[in-house]
Chain A
Amino acid sequence: MKIAVLSGKGGTGKTLVSVNLAAVASNAAYIDCDVEEPNGYLFFKPQGIKTLEVTVPVPQIDGLLCNGCRLCVDFCKFNALAFIKDKPVLFPEICHSCGGCVILCPQKAISERPKKVGVVSEGISGNVRVYGGIMETGASSGVPILRELFRQSKKEEGLSVIDCPPGSSCMAMESIKDADYCVLVAEPTLFGTHNLNMVHELVKVFKKPFGVVLNKCVPGENPSEEFCLEHNITVLGKILFDHKLGELNSNAYIIADELSEYRELFVDLLHRIEGEVKA
């Protein structure tokens, strides 16, 4: 069973929820899909880490074979090739690795070389197998790293908790693709509700069953809760605003391992989700 945890807005508690769900399960995998800013490993501190470099193919042009016809430059939709002093010049950061220039060059002057865009890793922390990826700074897209991450974690047949990146663009979409269930984590603010609405649209388009966890709840108004009521959305659980939780979490402790009341909360939440998936 694959559970994806997402939120639209950053900082609502995706990592808190996903790390703790994986930690209270008897046997689980945790997959950190926020390859731009991964944080899950800070909590799990996994051991026995195996890493794998992720590369993408980028073109390299043989200046001797190139006759300056500029077919490649005109073809590249991403403007990753420019024609400077009668020769094509590559800007590898913008290249999408479509391979078009290689196929089309009439002189066969273009081949490909691997360019490192990040690393994926796998390690163990107690009962949890921890998977993660990290993008090189300056790289523009984490999608190739995500794809490798899912190839690596494919062998997981039990419970996988997928910690998604913020937003509702290509990266979030890629992360929830194979999920059986989506958990949306929402904050009780106007911003939180607005972004909850966005991921709500996303999970509906992908026809994923889903429910909401309301985080940082304070007495009084909760626009995200009102949104759930209005749209008839299942509220899976509520986490109250708590300085003690905030402090332990900010020091990257797994709260369910530290405080029994939170262990109970996440055990209940996991059961609730498992019930929803079976229903």
Chain B
Amino acid sequence: MKQLLILSGKGGTGKTTIASAFIKLANAQAFADCDVDAPNLHLIMNRMGEPRRSDYYGLDKARINEDQCIGCGICKQNCRFDAISEKYGVYEIDSFGCEGCSVCEALCPVKAVEMVPALAGELMLYKKAEAVFSTAQLKMGSGTSGMLVTRVKNQMKDAANPRTELAIIDGSPGIGCPVIASLSGVDMVLIVAEPSLSGISDMERIVKTARQFGVKMAICVNKYDTNLNNTRKIEDYCGKESIVFAGTVPFDENAGKAINRGFSVVDIPCPAQQAVEKLFFTTMELLKDK
């Protein structure tokens, strides 16, 4: 199974718009949304029925048993995450701050600290005929998004028919742990750039991050006609960095309209639809290319 990952660095450049269109055009039988922090792909993949849901637990988190605690403060002194507070001699764990390292548990002289399971999100698996769609929602304020991304990808791979040839994965913005987790094991990354100075700066940082994984890369520009000068800069950058420039998609209000109705941009005839189709065929050629 070849895996295509869509990333962007900057948020809101059109990752999900492109991913949903590609899924449609390829009639993809395996796809996933790795933006577990703010997932959206399920909003337009709403014709797959009800998902199978399962709880996602991050690392166990500390809890202090008040009756056993002698108020020595060793736990607070050694917590690197400022997750332990003290009020009138009573020590308490801030579950948002606790990263689950269990140093406090190991050091408590009276064994008053216990590590307890902590729900950190929910995994969803949609199935319709042969097609599988894996997604998840991280619990608000939670910090273990990289682990959850790995689970989303594994859930997709496990559920997919072994004969499935192509998987399309929608990534998350930024360059941090969820992005790094989404990069491992994919065959190609398509970066959706935006022709703004912010977009260019963010694109350069995601390229630098993806390069560390030695994965094949291509760049496309969405809403390219909103700033032709910056689009040219992106094309020049690709030339200089020897990255394939896969194509452009124009600004088209039909794209937003389609999404608001729960459709992908290729479901309605419009200039953006034609451009995305062209981009899709170019990307598929690159993906197959050794």
Which A residues form the contact surface with B (CB < 8 A)? 8-12, 15, 34, 36-37, 39, 42, 75, 77-78, 96-100, 103-104, 135, 137-143, 165-173, 187-191, 194-195, 198, 201-202, 205, 218, 221, 223, 243, 246-247, 249-252
Contact = CB atoms under 8 A, between A and B. Distances in A.
B268 to A, nearest CB: 15
B9 interface: yes
Interface of B: 9-13, 16, 37-38, 40, 43-44, 59, 78, 80-81, 96, 99-103, 106-107, 138, 140-143, 145-146, 172-177, 180, 194-199, 201-202, 205, 208-209, 212, 226-227, 229-230, 253, 256, 259-260, 262
A37 B262 contact: no
Nearest to B120: A169
Contacts of A75: 102, 106
A42 B201 contact: yes
Contact of A252 (B175, B198, B253): B198
Contacts of B146: 140
Contacts of A135: 175-176
A205 B143 CA distance: 16
Nearest to A37: B202
Nearest to B207: A137
Contact of A168 (B59, B100, B140): B140
A211 B65 CA distance: 39
Contact of A96 (B11, B99, B195, B212): B99
B260 A100 contact: no
A250 B226 contact: yes
Contacts of B227: 246-247, 250-251
Contacts of A168: 37-38, 140-141
B124 to A, nearest CB: 14
Contacts of A141: 143, 176-177
A141 to B, nearest CB: 6
A202 B140 contact: yes
Given A37-B9, A138-B209, A202-B141, A169 B37 contact: yes
B38 A218 contact: no
B253 A191 contact: no
Given A98-B99, A103-B78, A135-B176, A37 B205 contact: yes
A42 B197 contact: yes
B176 A36 contact: yes
A10 B59 contact: no
A125 B197 CA distance: 18
A190 B259 contact: yes
A159 to B, nearest CB: 23
Chain A: interface secondary structure?
A: loop
A195 B40 contact: yes
Contacts of B96: 170, 173
Given A9-B11, A42-B198, A166-B11, A98 B259 contact: no
A137 B209 contact: yes
A10 B107 CA distance: 41
A250 B142 contact: no
Given A104-B106, A140-B177, A189-B256, A37 B196 contact: no
Given A167-B38, A195-B38, A9 B12 contact: yes
A191 B141 contact: no
A104 B106 CA distance: 8
A247 B37 CA distance: 29
A221 B259 CA distance: 13
Nearest to A11: B12
Contacts of B16: 191
Nearest to B148: A169
Contact of B80 (A11, A98, A195): A98
A166 B174 CA distance: 8
Contact of A37 (B40, B59, B99, B174): B174
A190 B16 CA distance: 12
Contact of A77 (B12, B59, B138, B209): B59
A108 to B, nearest CB: 16
B44 to A, nearest CB: 8
Contacts of A12: 11-12
A39 B203 CA distance: 12
8 contacts: A10-B38, A37-B174, A39-B202, A103-B103, A138-B212, A187-B12, A190-B260, A252-B196
B197 A252 contact: yes
B175 A250 contact: no
